[in-house]
Amino acid sequence: MSEDFHHALKFKYDLCIGCSHCTGVCPTSAIHVYDGHPVLDPNRCVDCGRCYVACPVNAIYIEQDDFQTVYDYKYPVLLVPSIFLAQFEEKIRERTILSALLHIGFKYVYEVEKSVDFLKEYLRRDLEGGNAPCEKPVISSFCPAIVRLIQVKFPVLVDNIYLSKAPFDMTAEYIKKSLTEKGVKEEDIGVFYVTPCAAKIAAIKSPVGEEKSPVAGVINMNYLYSKVLRVIKTGEYQMCDESVRFHRLSKASITYPLTGGETKMLRTGRNLAIDDIHNVSEFLEKVEDEDIQDIDFLELRACDGSCCGGILTAENRFLMIERQRKRMAKCSEEVDAEDNDLLNYFDYLADKRHVRHVEPRSMDKMDDNMAAAMQKMKRAFEINQNLPQVDCHLCGYPSCKALADAVVTDKAQIQQCIFVQRAMEHYDLLTPKEAHDISAKVWGAKKTDPTLAKNLNL
């Protein structure tokens, strides 16, 4: 397991206007402002992408692997979530999309949800048999942003995480096994996953609970959508043979990436599905405080609308959900090994299914020495109690609590609070120039230029 979090979210400081929108939407207070620019705390960031959505000037971007690396493999394989197809208008047939993907250079194309029926069987065995494999409520490990959120913000709940690989990992394992059985050398196989979000990029680059992901590279969904649409519109592709098609998926497989997709697979128990990371965070606070009890299973997704609301999707999430449900209506309740040959690899995949225990990474760790950490926590609490609790962001931090934590860890000064500045000026403990200089350190010289008053004729 990787020691450090990989982060897919990056800042373009030349575009940043220092508006602090990103600090306000971050669910883990991972961003503060210094010298007029955002600063990321890598141990707090969960790559949920809320900052990416909030930025008004596109100063935040999401990295992806160089697409040309696809051609480094003799057998490049594309692993697409079923929602990738839901981005295209219904008049564009699945066979047309598949033909375009093959034209681009992929040898094989598989849908991620090919492994869902396999995972559904084990989920039912583990949760409906009366002997849950972990603490209740059992929390789905499907969404990597949620797994990281629990690690850094709710570390006491790590023992509740269901230790199972996600569908993209399991389908990738199947792809490698089935191709090597056909005589393809494993080093010639490159599995590339199409991601709707930043968190899955991070999960593949630094997987939690496993040494290395079977996925060789990641492609942003909006990038590939544009590429495929251009191929289709220009007519550059050749229509593939009728025998080449996406494998049949069950209703459960198609609904899996939608909100409620996992809970609907369970036939017993009290099971809840919650989407949007702020909703999830609020709910987990109640679970942590034991205000909510007697829940068997929690399906938690960081994006509003689950994967259809991913920040790298190209289409409106509501239209995608509608298309996904229309496709589901045409699917069978169940499929067998004739429709989905992955089910022939049940025993092999069963050995690959588990991940190691997820370790907590508390974002509130203030010192390696326990006694010193307790003293700092106490001091941070006292400071926070005396701050105005308006969370105005003028100190550069998203909340009064975040500023208090930064003060006791020597990352910030209490004088950064504008209310503390005014109080200190009142008692001649701080000159107006000193107060100005403190604000300039946070917001940069441009925003605090004294000539601003002159320009506004004040």
Give the C-alpha separation, 82 to 131, whole Å: 32
Q: How many other CB atoms sit within 10 Å of the CB of residue 24?
A: 16
Q: Please give the domain boundaries of the chain with CATH numbers for all domains.
A: 9-62 (3.30.70.20), 67-352 (no CATH), 370-447 (1.10.15.40)
Q: Which amino acid is at 73?
A: Y
pLDDT classification of 264: cutoffs 50, 70, 90: very high
Q: For residue 263, which amino acid is it?
A: T
pLDDT at 457: 67
Beta strand 189-195 with 75-80 is parallel
pLDDT score, position 458: 59
pLDDT beyond 70 at 1: no
Lowest mean pLDDT across 190-194, 360-364, 441-445: 360-364
d(CA 110, CA 179): 13
Q: Could you give the CA distance from residue 144 to residue 161 in angstroms, rounded to a whole number?
A: 11
**Mean pLDDT for the chain?**
92
Report the distance separating Cα 99 and Cα 103, nearest Å: 6
pLDDT recorded at residue 4: 67
Q: What is the pLDDT of residues 388-413, one digit of tens each?
A: 999 999 999 999 999 999 999 999 99
pLDDT tier at 5 (50, 70, 90 boundaries)?
A: confident
Selected residue with higher pLDDT from 317 and 455: 317
Beta-sheet pairing, 297-301 with 189-195: unpaired
The answer to whether the CB of 255 falls within 8 A of the CB of 327 is no
Percentage of the residues of the chain whose pLDDT score is greater than 70: 97
Lowest-confidence region among 132-146, 151-165, 218-232, 241-255 = 241-255
Q: Which residue has the higher pLDDT, 338 or 80?
A: 80
Rg (CA), the chain: 25
- Overall pTM surpassing 0.85 (yes/no): yes
Question: How do residues 350-392 score in pLDDT, each as one tens digit?
Answer: 999 988 888 888 666 788 888 998 999 999 999 999 999 999 9
Q: What is the pLDDT of residue 368?
A: 81
What local confidence, expressed as pLDDT, does residue 232 receive? Answer: 96
The per-residue pLDDT for range 245-260, each reduced to its tens digit, is 777 899 999 999 999 9
SS (H, E, C) the chain: CCCCCCCCEEECCCCCCCCCHHHHHCCCCCEEEECCEEEECCCCCCCCCHHHHHCCCCCEEECCCCHHHHHHCCEEEEEECHHHHCCCCCCCCHHHHHHHHHHHCCCEEEEHHHHHHHHHHHHHHHHHCCCCCCCCCEECCCCHHHHHHHHHHCHHHHHHECCECCHHHHHHHHHHHHHHHCCCCHHHEEEEEEECCHHHHHHHHCCCCCCCCCCCEEEEHHHHHHHHHHHHHHCCCCCCCCCCCCCCCCHHHHHCCCCCCCHHHCCCCCEEEEECHHHHHHHHHHHHCCCCCCCCEEEEECCCCHHHHCCCCCCCHHHHHHHHHHHHHCCCCCCCCCCCHHHHHHHHHHHHCECCCCCCCCCCCCCCCHHHHHHHHHHHHHHHHHCCCCCCCCCCCCCHHHHHHHHHCCCCCHHHCHHHHHHHHHCCCCCHHHHHHHHHHHHHHHHCCCHHHHHCCC
CA atoms within 13 A on the CB side of 89: 5
Buried b (16+ CB within 10 A) or exposed e, 218-242: bbbbbebbeebbebbeeeebeebee
| Cα–Cα distance, 403 to 398 (Å, whole number) | 8
- pLDDT level of residue 436 (50, 70, 90 thresholds): very high
What is the bridge-based pairing of β-strands 138-139 and 60-62? unpaired
Task: Write down the pLDDT at residue 2.
Answer: 41
pLDDT in tens, 92-140: 999 999 999 999 999 999 999 999 999 999 999 999 877 778 889 999 9
